[in-house]
Structure 1
Amino acid sequence: MKLRNLLILALAVSPAFLFAQQWQPKQAILMSKFAKDVKAESVLPEYPRPQLVREKWMNLNGVWQFQPATSKTEALPSGNLSRSILVPFPVESALSGVMEHHESIWYRRKFKVPATWKGENVLIHFGAVDYEAEVFINGKSLGIHTGGYDPFTYDITSSIKGAGEQDIAVRVFDPTDNGGFPRGKQTLNPQGIMYTSVTGIWQTVWLEPVPKTNISNIKIVPDIDKSVVKLIVNTGDKSSADVEIKVKDGNKTIQTKVGKANTEIIVPVSNAKLWSPDSPFLYDLSITLKKGTQQLDAVSSYFGMRKISIGEEGGFKKMFLNNKFLFQVGPLDQGFWPDGGYTAPTDEALKYDLEMTKKFGFNMVRKHIKVEPYRWYYWADKLGLMVWQDMPSPNSYTEKVPPIDKKAFTSELTRLVESHWNSPSIISWVIFNEGQAQHNTAGYVDQVRKLDPTRLINQGSGWEHFGVGDVLDIHSYPPPAVPTSAVQTLACGEYGGIGYIIPGHTWKTGPTYIMIDNEKDYTKLYDDFSTDLAIFKTNKGLSAAVYTEITDVEVELNGLLTYDREVIKGSADKIRASNEKAIKTNIYIKDVLPTSQDVARTWKYSFEKPDGEWMAASFKDENWKSGLAGFGTKGTPGANVKTVWNTSDIWLRQEFTLGDLKGINREDLVLYIHHDEDAEVYINGVKAVVIPNYSSNYSMVKISKESQNALIANGKNVIAIHCTQKQGGQYIDAGISYVETK
């Protein structure tokens, strides 16, 4: 849909000029390449709600008055506030001009209601305010909204005084770590995978005139199997007025349907053009509310005809788009900016990350424990990216763990689904991430299913699984991995995390899963992981995988882009080719030596460092113990422990007999291993590979040509492994496989 150049009234921004000289951006450790485009007199001027558009509106973004509050109950101050801030950038951000944290704060500004709005109700909309916001118009409190990620609206008609200047004030309270409500990756003590907090107004604030009987919201549900789109056009007063709906393909109206407000209206869409990443076609909507021949209200919108479902293919449950399996590969997208915090500096900046996601060849993106403004989803809809939408988590990885605010979580989960259920790009709701404040999982799956039965539900990405929802999702670093289930579709919700430091473009250096120091090795390792994905897709039933991540974020240096969006770390063409291989190529594997993932195999093992050439085929291991693999400790991610190994080191040997290797290219033999942590592997005494760090599940690892050639066809062979425990869980199991590409 092409949004029209909607009216932004001059009066909307005139108060900004009064304070423009008082606002200057602060200098963050890094500033994005878009920071220079931020202008106080025109801040995020685009229409903020692309799926419910009216022509008349007033943007209240710009320079507001600001000052810290003494408490969440402080009385509204009289007169002007002491400082200024650029809305809608959070208080902690450089672009706000404040770059401080305060638990309680005040905002204030003046505005005038245009005379042309006379006789209409006036609404004030807030895209999002973190966390608790009390709104005052001319000193009168309109109410308190809680929740940092959802839009809210007040009718201010009765609070407007005359035709002159009106006063708006907002008091915000945000305890961040000290509250048990959803807050995602925010913390007052940024470190590791937790980042700078976000307080206050962080999405567009705007006014809108509406008739007394008006369209308050719409719900759009496409049904490609029946070639229809279903709509409910709601009015705040539950009116029984008529609704005229026109479906448009460009400038051509292809269908007109009349029904009643607040009831389902089914509109045929014959020979529908289906929405997909390769062809993200969107139909436009014109919706008119009528009483007889009188037009009461009118809005424009859009929708995509697409279906997401679970189907069966090759004996596995798979994610289907439009009734066909499409392997999904996308980056983790955390939505942080070095200068704007949660808020992108401009609409072009907001669009840029998604454009780069497409340029890298991804067809999906996981919006990670954050909710974006409506326009982010608009661009995902337009560009053609499937979206996994996370619910922001309470009690993320920080020292303070207050009691979970279950009421807040329940309410905000509902509002997340209801606020964004019209976006065709969103194909999955992810309720929890890595066990962060996870509770009542089955209950929340049921809650979301009742709200929206048309999308997939992921009970929890990583860690805690309870057999509910559609998806079984594990995390594996650095290489990807695949879980096993006969009743759920399989996903690797996080993998990769390849660190690559670009001097001059880092916020701060910190540890990551694996560090690379040159582009050649960087893109090669990325391609190796894509080969793993193609193998898992073809042989193990994997439906989707999420690479960590699209950009660096503060201390995290594993982005495909630097945090300032200035540098693309690896060739976009090479990354794209790797992603296309994962999506389109089938790579088949055949066990040469099976792992114990399905059927436990017996190994000889020792916890004491052996004397002599323990890896040699001729080594005498009669005094070693025998045990079933895998070896490790209970609770290690992805582990299937049959024999407890809880010491610092383990040495393993297994004798196996190979059959005829004719027709097998030895260069296609690989190690299939789950190691936690460092492992060194030998085949018939020849070093096959040394693998640092750990994996969270089984993954393919290339082995040396010498070890491939050392295998004896139609004879006995020995595989020997040394694995070292450093921290956390521990586990080891391995096998050998043959890989064939078709």
Structure 2
Amino acid sequence: MKYYFLLIACVLGRLTLQAQENLIINTEGRNSVSLNGTWSYIIDPYDTGFYDYRFNERSEDDLGAYWNKPVLKKKTDWTEHGYNDTYTLEVPGDWNSQDPIFTYYEGAVWYQRTFDKPAIAANEQVYLYFGAVNYEAHVYLNGKKLGMHKGGFTPFNFKIPADLLQDTDNYLVVRVDNRRHKDEVPTVNTDWCNYGGITRDVKLLVMPEYFIKQYHIQLDQQQDIVKAKKKKRFQVSGWVKLNEVMASGKVHVEIPELKVDKEFEVTGDSVKIAFEVKKMQLWDTETPKLYNVSLAVNDEKAITDKIGFRKIEVEGDKILLNGDEVFLRGICIHEEIPQDARRATSKKDAEQIFGYVKDLHANMVRLAHYPHNEYMPRTADSLGILVWTEIPVYWTIDFENDEVLEKATNQLEEMVARDRNRASVIIWSVGNETPRSDARNTFMSTLAKRAKKLDDSRLISAALEVHYNAGTNFVDDPLGAYTDIVSLNEYLGWYGGLPDACRTANWETKYNKPFFISETGAGAKGGFHDEKEMRFSEEYQKWYYEEQIQMFKTRFPENYKGLAPWILIDFRSPKRNNPVYQEGFNRKGLIDENGNKKLAFYELQKYYKEIEEKEKASKK
């Protein structure tokens, strides 16, 4: 029996890796058909649709399997499952916010809908694409399994066999399971709501026989950006990856506004590209210039993308954007819409969240603690907001388990693949608040090195551990040797003492690298007012930020180069159960769940405006 389960694990692992290797990026620029909308569902807490009464996975043609369509031809026929319009969920979306029965539900839910075959030419093929499904997805079409995927925040796709696709009434079923497990990423213990469901866009991609699957186009990282700016001559480099090996062919790259029109010979399934561009306007926070870039293989229709060109790097203890020092005026964000207590899913949602960010006078966001939907970095691209994005290697991951490392690596690779052409994304983070041990150090450093190998055009970071004591708070986490910036979470005045403890705190770091506060904050119930010593009052949270900001100004080391307080908006968390002040919400937001700004919002806003005005004055 042990070997049977090992075999199953290997098969599932291959299915997951297959989805990763075949990931198609920039689906916005492709010929696609949306499958968003109303889906039927079956809630299945006992996994009846997946396992038989002996708890073995059902065979593919088992009529009791929930991926098969019940067929009743006579009165004596029977079935114990079915889909209809009585039970429906909207896709994309989490199930928790759509019906009270799902509020804290963790388990299996089966989604079902039908679709007609899209118009395709003789040499075209169809892929089924999911922006994300939390957490484990098994996908079936017309009774056949297309594959499975693990990871609640990264995209995946499957090629639909041509002989499986019917002209009409294609029967699509997805088993979604959001249960937490010790050997998954994230693990069982998190401080956010485990929203289940098909939480991001679903679409059919109609693709030619040969097409560009992935690509990376950016400024060449080896060039001296200061000299390039003076000469107004920039080197662009990257690569293009095809879906299949070609005996010979050409990849065409065009940037009309820059008069770039280049062809590159390709043999195999990939090609490196490099060319010079004159008079390019670099992307930055004040002028987030995006260029229309089109790519095509042979005579196929080009795909287009909006790409900004910039260089982010660290020089000693400075963070440089296009050769100029930048201070990160950040804020942390969960992928949640406050007034609906739901996952953010759309461009409109992204615009609402970034509206708050701009109002705060922030120039950077930390997307916690997982990759957010693709509308977030794309909106950040258009607004000039810098982005830290991370994988959910959080707290007590099983660091001694090689399979867990493989799962984390897979999510890292899917995150990088999707967002590597977003100018706004400047930091890949490999985790948050992971406790020190030899196994942890090996696990996390492996991820950091893998991230750097995948993409050397961005910084690598993680929220590190700190040695707190009565004298000096010292940052010497061994993981800091592998990161480009020293990032740490501190809550001095909330979890340790009162806010005025900031007046005597000292901070030092082992590393000559930029020092960044990746979290700090205090809880406050929106609309609750009292004396500043009263916990959970808006006055206490305001006091906390006053003392913190003064500490930043007077007691932080010279390599202090930014912060991202916790957090922009109150968010749901089943860990937070104070019946008066929390009620299932983490209340550290500067904005409450109804969209109302708390007093502390204006304290941080004032601090950021001061920094922004000084930066503008120094450039005059």
Q: TM-score, normalised by structure 1?
A: 0.63
- Name the CA distance, whole Å, in 2 between partners of 1:514 and 1:423: 40
Match runs of 1:691-706 below 5 Å: none
**Contact residue 327 and residue 562 of structure 2 kept, 8 A:** yes
Match of 1:93 in 2: 97
For structure 1, which segment, 262-271 or 335-344, has the greater mean C-alpha deviation from structure 2 after superposition? 335-344
1:444 equivalent in alignment to 2:447: yes
Alignment partner, residue 216 of structure 1? 213
Q: Say which is worse superposed, 487-496 or 142-151, in terms of deviation.
A: 487-496
Aligned twin of 1:418: 417
Q: Distance in 2 between matches of 1:116 and 1:482?
A: 62
CA distance in 1: counterparts of 2:456 and 2:448, whole angstroms? 11
Partner of 1:526: 545
Matched AA of 1:63: T
Q: Structure with the greater relative contact order (CA < 8 A, sep ≥ 6): 1 or 2?
A: 2
- Matched residue, 1:710: none
> Which residue of the partner structure matches residue 235 of structure 2?
228
Distance in structure 1 (CA, Å) of the matches to 2:432 and 2:244: 39
- CA 1:96–1:346 in 2, change beyond 3 Å: closer, same or farther? farther
**Aligned partner letter, 2:430:** I
Contact 1:553 1:559 (8 Å CA) reproduced: yes
Contact in 2 for aligned 1:219/1:231 (Cα 8 Å) = yes
Cα 1:468/1:298, change in 2 over 3 Å: same
Match of 1:590 in 2: none
1:96-175 matched pairs, under 5 angstroms: 98-99=102-103, 101-115=105-119, 119-175=123-179
- CA deviation vs aligned residue, 1:310-332 (integer Å, no higher than 9, x gap): 113xxxx1211111211112111
Q: 2:193 aligns with which of 190, 193, 196?
A: 196
Partner in structure 1 of residue 457 of structure 2: 454
Paired residue for 2:35?
60
The one-letter amino acid paired with 1:321 is L
Q: Give the residue type in structure 2 aligned to 1:220.
A: I
- CA spacing shift, 1:459–1:348, aligned 2, 3 Å: closer
Q: What corresponds to 1:272 in structure 2?
A: 280
Q: Which residue of 2 aligns with 1:78?
A: 69
The alignment partner of 1:115 has SS state of coil
Task: Tell me, in whole angstroms, the C-alpha distance in 1 between the residues paired with 2:534 and 2:185.
Answer: 27
CA–CA separation in structure 2 for the residues paired with 1:447 and 1:265 = 22
Counterparts in 2 of 1:105 and 1:457: CA distance versus 1, 3 Å: same
User: How many Å separate the matches in 1 of 2:285 and 2:148?
Assistant: 40
Report the AA paired with residue 104 of structure 1: A
- 1:105 Cα deviation from its structure 2 partner: 2.1
- From the superposition, tell whether residues 485 and 513 of structure 1 become closer, same or farther in structure 2 (CA, over 3 Å): farther
Looking at structure 2, the residues matched to 577 and 254 of structure 1 have their Cα atoms a distance apart, in angstroms, of 43
Equivalent residues of 1:52, 1:299 under 8 A apart: no
In structure 2, how many angstroms separate the alpha carbons of the residues matched to 1:179 and 1:339?
32
CA RMSD of superposed structures (Å): 3.2
2:100 & 2:291 partners in 1: Cα distance? 37
C-alpha distance after superposition, 1:482-501 (max 9, x if no partner): 43234332112212335253
> 1:562 is aligned with what amino acid?
D
State how far apart, in whole Å, the 2-side matches of 1:204 and 1:61 are: 6
> Which residue is 2:333 aligned to?
333
The residue identity in structure 1 corresponding to 2:456 is P
Kindly tell me: are residues 234 and 66 of structure 1, through their superposed partners in 2, closer, same or farther at Cα, counting changes over 3 Å? same
Distance apart, 1:516 and its partner CA: 3.8
For residues 491 and 533 of structure 1, what CA distance do their matches in structure 2 show?
11
The residue identity in structure 2 corresponding to 1:218 is Y
In structure 2, which of residues 503, 508, 521 is the aligned counterpart of residue 496 of structure 1?
521
1:340 CA displacement: 6.4
The verdict on how the C-alpha distance between 1:421 and 1:246 changes in structure 2, with shifts beyond 3 A counting, is same
The structural deviation recorded for 1:525 is 5.4
* Residues 302 and 52 (structure 1), Cα distance of their counterparts in 2 relative to 1, 3 Å cut: farther
Deviation by residue 1:234-287 (Cα, 9 ceiling, x = unmatched): 211133421221114xxx353211113421111322222121112211111011
Structure 1 residues 326 and 482 mapped into 2: Cα distance closer, same or farther (>3 Å)? farther
How much does 1:550 deviate? Answer: 0.4
Q: Is the 8 A contact 1:85 1:98 kept in 2?
A: no
Q: How does 1:351-430 map to 2 (within 5 A)?
A: 351-394=351-394, 405-430=404-429
Deviation at 1:402?
A: 11
Distance 1:52 1:89, change over 3 A: closer
Instruction: State the distance in 1 between where 2:550 and 2:368 align.
Output: 25
Alignment of 1:618-633 (within 5 A): none
Q: 1:137 to 1:472 in 2, by over 3 A?
A: same
**2:9: which partner in 1?**
none
1:550 to 568, 574, 579: 568
The one-letter amino acid of 1:391's match is I
Among the aligned pairs, what percent are the same residue?
Answer: 21
- Whichever residue aligns with residue 135 of structure 1, its letter is V
CA distance 1:279–1:462, change in 2 (3 Å): farther
Name the residue aligned to 1:237: 244
The alpha-carbon distance between structure 1 residues 150 and 381, as it changes in their structure 2 partners (threshold 3 A), is same
570 and 229 in structure 1: CA distance in 2 versus 1, 3 angstrom threshold: farther
Structure 2 residue 350 is the aligned partner of structure 1 residue 347? no
Q: What is aligned with 1:605?
A: none
Q: 1:339 and 1:135, CA in 2 relative to 1: closer, same or farther beyond 3 A? A: farther
**Hey, what does 1:718 align to over in structure 2?**
none
Q: Give, in whole Å, the separation in 1 of the partners of 2:175 and 2:205.
A: 22
Give, in whole Å, the separation in 1 of the partners of 2:308 and 2:265.
Answer: 23
The unaligned stretches of length 5 or more in structure 1 are 1-48, 188-192, 505-511, 587-742
Deviation at 1:563, TM superposition (A): 1.9
Instruction: Identify if the C-alpha distance between structure 1 residues 432 and 53 changes in structure 2 by more than 3 Å, giving closer, same or farther.
Output: closer
Distance 1:97 1:54 in 2: 38
Structure 2 contact 394–433 (Cα < 8 Å) conserved: no
Q: CA deviation at 1:139?
A: 0.9
**TM superposition shift of 1:60:** 0.6
> Deviations 1:23-62 (Å, cap 9, x if unpaired)?
xxxxxxxxxxxxxxxxxxxxxxxxxx99454363211111
Tell me which residue corresponds to 1:472: 486
- Take 2:149 and 2:318, find their aligned partners in 1: how far apart are those partners? 40
- 1:447-503 superposed Cα distances (whole Å, 9 cap, x missing partner): 112111221111444444433222222222246874323433211221233525326
2:344, 2:69 → 1: CA distance? 33
In the aligned structure 2, how far is the partner of 1:379 from the partner of 1:50?
17
Q: Distance in 2 between matches of 1:342 and 1:122?
A: 31
List gaps (5 residues or longer) in structure 2: 1-23, 51-56, 59-64, 71-81, 229-233, 467-476, 494-498, 573-584, 616-620
Q: Map 1:521-670 to 2 at 5 A.
A: 526-535=545-554, 540-554=558-572, 555-565=585-595, 567-570=596-599, 575-582=604-611, 585=614
What is the Cα deviation at residue 415 of structure 1? 2.2
- What CA distance in whole angstroms lies between the structure 2 residues aligned with 1:502 and 1:462? 34
What does residue 312 of structure 2 align with?
308
**TM-score, scaled relative to structure 2:** 0.74
Q: Once the 2 structures are TM-superposed, how far is the Cα of residue 584 of structure 1 from its aligned partner?
A: 5.6
Does the 8 Å contact 1:89/1:96 carry over to 2?
no
- Mapped to 2, the partners of 1:242 and 1:461 lie a distance apart of 46
Question: What is the rounded CA distance, in whole Å, between the counterparts of 1:275 and 1:524 in structure 2?
Answer: 37
Partners of 2:100 and 2:203 in 1: how far apart? Answer: 18
- Once the two structures are overlaid, the 10-residue window that deviates more, 213-222 or 123-132, is 213-222
Shift of 1:571: 8.6
Q: Compute the displacement of 1:162 (Å).
A: 3.9
In 2, are the aligned partners of 1:87 and 1:96 still within 8 Å (CA)? no
1:207 counterpart = 2:204: yes
Contact 1:246 1:257 in 2 (8 A): yes
The letter of the residue matching 1:277 is T
Partners of 2:339 and 2:171 in 1: CA distance? 29
